[in-house]
Homo-oligomer: A and B are copies of this chain.
Amino acid sequence: MKVFVVGANGQIGKQIVSLLSKSDQHEVCAMVRSEEQASKYKDLGVEARVANLEGTVDRISEAMIGSDAVVFSAGSGGATGSDKTLLVDLDGAAKTIEAAEQAGVNRFIMVSAIQAHNRENWNESIKPYYVAKHYADKILVGSSLNYTIVRPGGLVNEPGRGKVTISENLERGYIPREDVANVIVAALGEEHTYRRSFDLTSGETSITEALKSF
C-alpha cells in the first residue's frame, strides 16, 4: 500500500513516515508544507509533496494521486490558538477527507483523541480542541471512505513498548507516540479495523493481537 501521510512533519507523523519507509509491505508519500521540508525528506530517500491544509481541496487531492491510503496525523498544536484549531484540525481534516474522496483514495486512518466521541469525557482544559476533533471524526464516519479512527490517550515521548490496550471506550491513559505510529501502520491492512473507531492507551497486549480483538 502506498500511504500518503498528512502532518508528516509532526511528532507522530515523522515516526509514521520512518516506519513506512522501512516497511517491505508499504510505500510512503509525505505531505509537507514547504519545499524545504520536502527536500529534507527527499534527501532521506522519502517521496514528499508540498500541499497545505489551509489551501484548496483540489491541491490536496492532486498531491494524493497514486496513493492507496491516507493517514491524517496533522494538528495545529498547542502553540497556536483556536483559530488554527478551526482552520487545521477541523477544516483541514474535512478538506483531506474530501480530497481523498475526490482522488479515489479509499483507505483513511485518522489520528483523533481519546474519548473524542463522548462530550461528557472531554478534557476541560482543551475542550475547544476536542470540539474540532469530534466533528472531524463525524465527517469521516459520514464519508464514503474506509476509515479507521484511532483515539490515543495522552501522548508521551517515551520509547514504544509494543503493548497496548484497544477498546471502543477507555476511560483515560497515556501512550508513547512511537506506539501510536506502530498501531497506525499495523492497522492499515487489518480488516478488523475497517469502518471502526477505538480508544488506545499503553497496555499489556501486543499491537497485532489488540487490533484483531477489540
| Chain A positions near chain B (C-beta within 8 angstroms) | 57, 81-83, 85-87, 90-91, 94-95, 119, 127-128, 131-132, 134-135, 138-139, 142
* Closest B residue, CB atoms, query A142: B142
Check B86 against A131 for contact (C-beta < 8 Å): yes
The CA of A143 and the CA of B81, in the complex, are separated in Å by 30
- Taking a contact as CB atoms closer than 8 A, the residue among B85, B127, B139 that contacts A82 in the complex is B85
The CA of A132 and the CA of B91, in the complex, are separated in Å by 9
The CA of A108 and the CA of B142, in the complex, are separated in Å by 21
The CA of A142 and the CA of B210, in the complex, are separated in Å by 34
Q: Which of A57, A86, A87, A138 has the most CB of B within 10 A?
A: A86
Q: Which residues of B contact A87 (CB under 8 A)?
A: 127-128, 131
- Taking a contact as CB atoms closer than 8 A, the residue among B81, B91, B119, B127 that contacts A81 in the complex is B81
Check B142 against A86 for contact (C-beta < 8 Å): no
* Closest B residue, CB atoms, query A57: B119
Check B128 against A83 for contact (C-beta < 8 Å): yes
What is the distance, in angstroms, from A52's C-beta to the closest C-beta of chain B? 14
Given known contacts A82-B85, A83-B82, A90 and B135 CB-to-CB distance under 8 angstroms: yes
The CA of A5 and the CA of B27, in the complex, are separated in Å by 54
